[in-house]
Amino acid sequence: MTHWPSIVVATPAHSGVGALLSYRSESALAPGTLVRVPLGAREVLGIVWADETAPPEGLAPEQARNVAAVLDGLAPLNARWRQLVQFAARYYQRSLGEVALAALPPTLRDLDNTQLARRLKRQAKAAAIGTAPASAADTAPPPSDEQAAALAALAGADRPALLFGATGSGKTEVYLRATERALAADPAAQVLVMVPEINLTPQLEARFRARFEPRHGEGVVVAMHSGMTPPQRLAAWLAAHSGSARIVLGTRLAVFASLPGLRLIVVDEEHDPSYKSQDGARYSARDLAVYRAKLESEALATAAPDAGAGPASAPAGAAGCQVVLGSATPSLESWHAAEQGRYLRLAMPARIGGGALPRLRLVDMNHQPKGATLAPPLLAAMQERIARGEQCLVLLNRRGYAPVLACDACAWKSQCPHCSAFRVFHKLDRTLRCHHCGFTSRVPRACPDCGNLDIAPIGRGTEQIEEQLAGLLVDARRPDGGPARVARMDADTTRLKGSLEAQLAALHSGEVDVLVGTQMIAKGHDFRRITLVASLNADAALFASDYRAPERLFALLMQAGGRAGRDARHSGVSEMWVQTWHPEHPLFAALKTHDYPAFAAEQLAEREMAGMPPHGYQALLRADARTQAAAQAFLNGAAQQAAGLPHRDDVTLYPAVPLTIQRVANVERAQLLVEAASRAALQRFLSAWQPVLLACRTLPEARGLVRFAVDVDPLAI
Ligand code: ADP
Ligand code: ZN
Ligand code: ZN
């Protein structure tokens, strides 16, 4: 009997309904089966979405092409996985084909059956070898009272859990024990643990391996992130899909991993903006994690009819899939959900070892010597720390030596020729580099416009602070009498593979006394001997136009402060220094008492008055074009043509505006804000609007439009 499966193939974002194509097959194909099918002149990877026994209407049987091959070495992608990608495509306004195929490892797209069979064989062999217990076993410490309470509450949780734990409260131990419990409850159970950045995976991976390899063998943990080679990613994906890997540890893309036995999802540092993808489908891995856990729980509840009262009231504890969002400074969205009772809040306010959080020291820059980058009292405090053999962390959110180079005699500045931004002066290799488009050139000897030899840096970046600190601390002495050692860590110093690990090791072994860096150093790492953290340029975020800037600043400062005093011996004396021109700002009052709930309450009240998320819902329509006029014409045209659409009255459409950095790599950028009072209203409108957007691409006044994208729940406006 001939079958007519509809198959999802990779299709560009805006090809409309073309994602599902009908093919012919002489055998029945289960939904989720991976196949290779002809598409135009090529043969591509596809996923069977539905099997039909009659040809679809309008398709003459002789027109249909045959499925070229079935990748029958792989189990079909299960229904929950398919629902997840289908939901993600719809919610984030992308084509199903784009989202579904992008969720698979790239190498899989290019393999034929023979190659795949070879990989699977190699994989099976590796798994067999990998069952030997690893040597570096770790012994689980007895849980603290707070950890025990959180774990007990989690065991009976019937909704997503928000683990609100101070920095150093031992959230990782909770993840480890929750994982242990999930694995023990079911021999097929799998756990997904997500971290916001690749940098944070090695440390966590080591801890999970040490905990689980002795009992479960070497292949039990796999990592999944974009820093892996394509063969590594494929191997990890196959291990997860086959169930041989019980724990997948990864960055946001791991939310789409095929995990047939998924029972627990952990989202560590859930507030981190890195969970939101900034290109392609602009999905939030955190939000999808919550949705995914719900899908899995519902499926499990229906699969076990004797489990009791059904999906709505069945506790997820034993039978479902749990999701734990962890943070010391939750996103306001998650906090709000916990306040409303939609999430279960598990609080761990105390640090392991009972150490205090660092004391806040605000430096009023109005009372410091003019032009001082580092206030004298801060420098003195740093010298004292160094003399005691303690370490300092200095944060500055700007890499390079200086953000601008300017001529003294004329108006020349190091403007990027391709962007509406300045090129940053990097002193080490004497280059001017655009951080937006990458355009790089050598620093000119003289002003390119007037020939003046005095071109000077304006403002400061991490390179310059590193240089200045080395000079300012030249007389500082360590307990052994040696000079203070200053180092820097940012995207520039960690570009080479292994360099981040090497730098972290140097810091841990005490080879560095003062570490200067961008926010990269504020996150996650467990530094033991740091007792002083200083933030040099926090003010920019206090008055930024982005309404989320205070939330981010608060999280960053709490996180950075969390690096200090993690060793209980030092915690009593650890300090967080903040240089500011606005010490009276209310944000600092909450920071001083480490009072995230107070800060969140104040921010949420403001957002409620303004109808901002989570008290309102937003989407951005973004356009890139050759000219700003074309970009805006497309956006405004799309808004005009929305008139009369169903659900049009449920949303507010604002006029198009240029982005803050209006031009990048010679492309002009603009956006239009859409607001609605409910998520459902926003979704309904966006779906209705989609065909209008496609049609507006050809508006005569939008000539020169390069691309457009919808960003649902945008993080920056
Ligand atoms: P967080 O992620 O909440 O900032 P961590 O998980 O890094 O905190 O834990 C802080 C430190 O406390 C780590 O060094 C960890 O090994 C240690 N720790 C966690 N739980 C316990 C415990 N129950 N007993 C002893 N030490 C613990
Ligand atoms: Zn000049
Ligand atoms: Zn540029």
> Tens of pLDDT along 404-455?
999 999 999 999 999 999 999 999 999 999 999 999 999 999 999 999 999 9
Q: How far apart are CA 312 and CA 303, in angstroms?
A: 14
Dihedral of the alpha carbons of 256, 258, 261, 266, in degrees to the nearest 10: -30
- How far, in Å, from the CA of 498 to the mean position of ligand 1? 25
pLDDT at 21 over 90: no
Rounded (10°) angle between helices 171-185 and 201-216: 30
What integer pLDDT is reported at residue 568 of this predicted model? 62
> Tens of pLDDT along 527-580?
778 899 999 988 988 888 888 999 999 999 998 888 887 776 666 688 999 999
Tokens standing for residue 328: 């010391």
pLDDT at 355 over 90: no
**3-state SS record for 440-456:** EEECCCCCCCCCCCCEE
Ligand 1, CB cutoff 6 Å, lining residues: 141, 143-144, 147, 165, 167-173, 352, 526
pLDDT at 74 over 60: yes
- How far, in Å, from the CA of 600 to the mean position of ligand 3? 37
Q: Note the ligand closest to the C-alpha atom of 421.
A: 3
Other Cβ atoms closer than 10 A to 518: 18
Give the residue, out of 147, 167, 169, 173, with the most ligand 1 atoms within 8 A of its beta carbon, to mutate for a pocket test.
173
What integer pLDDT is reported at residue 216 of this predicted model? 92
What integer pLDDT is reported at residue 313 of this predicted model? 44
What's the mean per-residue pLDDT of the chain? Answer: 90
Q: Nearest residue CA, atom 13 of ligand 1? A: 170
Pair type for strands 667-676 and 617-625: antiparallel
pLDDT at 316 over 80: no
Band (pLDDT 50/70/90 cuts) for residue 317 is very low
Band (pLDDT 50/70/90 cuts) for residue 97 is very high
Band (pLDDT 50/70/90 cuts) for residue 309 is very low
User: Are the CB atoms for 716 and 20 separated by under 8 Å?
Assistant: no
Name which of 129-143, 386-400, 468-482, 555-569 the model is least confident about: 129-143
- How far, in Å, from the CA of 34 to the mean position of ligand 1? 43
Q: What is the DSSP string of 476-498?
A: -B-TTSPBP-EEEESTTTT-STT
Band (pLDDT 50/70/90 cuts) for residue 158 is very high
Band (pLDDT 50/70/90 cuts) for residue 310 is very low
- For the residues 62-67, what does the mean pLDDT come to? 86
One-letter identity of residue 325: L
**From the alpha carbon of 352, which atom of ligand 1 is closest?**
12
Q: How far apart are CA 523 and CA 521, in angstroms?
A: 6
Question: What are the two backbone dihedrals, phi and then psi, of residue 422, each rounded to the nearest 5 degrees?
Answer: -90, 150
Residue 435 β-bridge partners: none
> Tens of pLDDT along 681-695?
999 999 999 999 999
Q: Tell me the percentage of the chain whose pLDDT exceeds 70.
A: 94
Q: Nearest residue CA, atom 18 of ligand 1? A: 170
What integer pLDDT is reported at residue 524 of this predicted model? 62
Band (pLDDT 50/70/90 cuts) for residue 201 is confident
- For the residues 371-382, what does the mean pLDDT come to? 93
Other Cβ atoms closer than 10 A to 595: 13
Is the bond preceding 614 in cis, omega lying within 30 degrees of 0? yes
> Tens of pLDDT along 646-684?
999 999 999 999 999 999 999 999 999 999 999 999 999
Q: Nearest residue CA, atom 5 of ligand 1? A: 170
> Tens of pLDDT along 120-149?
888 777 765 544 444 566 788 999 999 999
User: Are the CB atoms for 331 and 270 separated by under 8 Å?
Assistant: yes
Predicted TM-score (pTM) above 0.85 = yes
What integer pLDDT is reported at residue 18 of this predicted model? 61
Other Cβ atoms closer than 10 A to 188: 10
**From the alpha carbon of 142, which atom of ligand 1 is closest?**
23
